[in-house]
Amino acid sequence: MIYHGGDIIPGKVTINLILYGDWSVFKVGNDAQEIITNFVENLGTSSYWRTATGYYDTDDFVKANIVLGGVFYDRFSTGFGTSLDYAALPAIVQNAIQTGFGGVADYNALYVVITDPDVTNSYGFCSEFCAYHTFYSDGDQAVKYTFVGNPATQCYYSCAPQDDPSQPTANGNPGIDALTSSLAHEIAEAITDPKPFTTWYDQNRLEIADKCAYNYILDPLPTVANGGQYNVALGNRRYLLQGLWVNDLGGYCDILPTY
């Protein structure tokens, strides 16, 4: 992993969640939001996140300080409906900032758009990516955001740790359990390389989670009471997360680095 001179997101990073689509209990399950918010609230102080704190820019290291800013529900208010193109995401983020997050963008935040299982993307969800991160310019500042799709009804076989949504998962919600693995991946990359391919990536343009994509490290994986597999405990829940690249001792993937 090579440092290319760009900036990380420094200091405390606020995660603002934008839950886009029909987030009714019928669509996503009655514990969906709690699974996600528990994940965000406990990520920064976890052993898992220790890997990311080994990365830096010219001013500072990534901090073990991630906080949940707020949660905004967008039930198709921007007019894009269930089919999103690439231009939809900045508009959805801008609408959330104006409507739900005080009207002023936080340039040290990460805005996370998470969709319901019926929302599709015309530019590559399921076929080219499960999630991604990027930014848009607001004057001379960058508003950082990420998209994370719920693969439950469209591409579970390609965007989840397990191939079959009928198999048990750690929190009993296959779509949400799948997307939290992608969410961990994107938060790590968005903080260490917020303007993609300016800060931390390797000679093959792989960022710190790309190098460990779908590598869950432990073998065998422990299980919860329902048989669902996990490898990381955060708060009162268990998650099955992709490893992150430890840029030390020649480099390796891990979920619990020793430093």
The pLDDT assigned to 160 comes to 84
Residue 120 lies in a domain: yes
The pLDDT assigned to 258 comes to 55
Residue 13 lies in a domain: yes
The pLDDT assigned to 259 comes to 46
Question: What is the maximal distance between C-alpha atoms in the chain?
Answer: 51
Q: Can you tell me the distance from the alpha carbon of 208 to that of 188, in angstroms, rounded to the nearest whole number?
A: 7
Residue 259 lies in a domain: no
**pLDDT tens digits, one per residue of 154-163:** 777 778 887 7
Non-local (6+) Cβ contacts of 192 within 8 A are 8, 52, 55, 62, 199, 200, 207, 208
Residue 1 lies in a domain: no
User: Stretch 11-40: mean pLDDT, rounded?
Assistant: 93
The domain total for the chain is: 1
Residue 165 lies in a domain: yes
**pLDDT tens digits, one per residue of 204-215:** 999 999 999 999
SS3 136: strand
The domain in which residue 56 lies consists of: 6-254
Q: In this structure, are residues 42 and 82 in contact, taking their beta carbons and an 8 Å threshold?
A: no
pTM of the model: 0.94
**pLDDT tens digits, one per residue of 157-205:** 778 887 777 889 999 999 999 999 999 999 999 999 999 999 999 999 9
Residue 111 lies in a domain: yes
Q: In this structure, are residues 97 and 144 in contact, taking their beta carbons and an 8 Å threshold?
A: no
**pLDDT tens digits, one per residue of 213-240:** 999 999 999 999 999 999 999 999 999 9
Residue 226 lies in a domain: yes
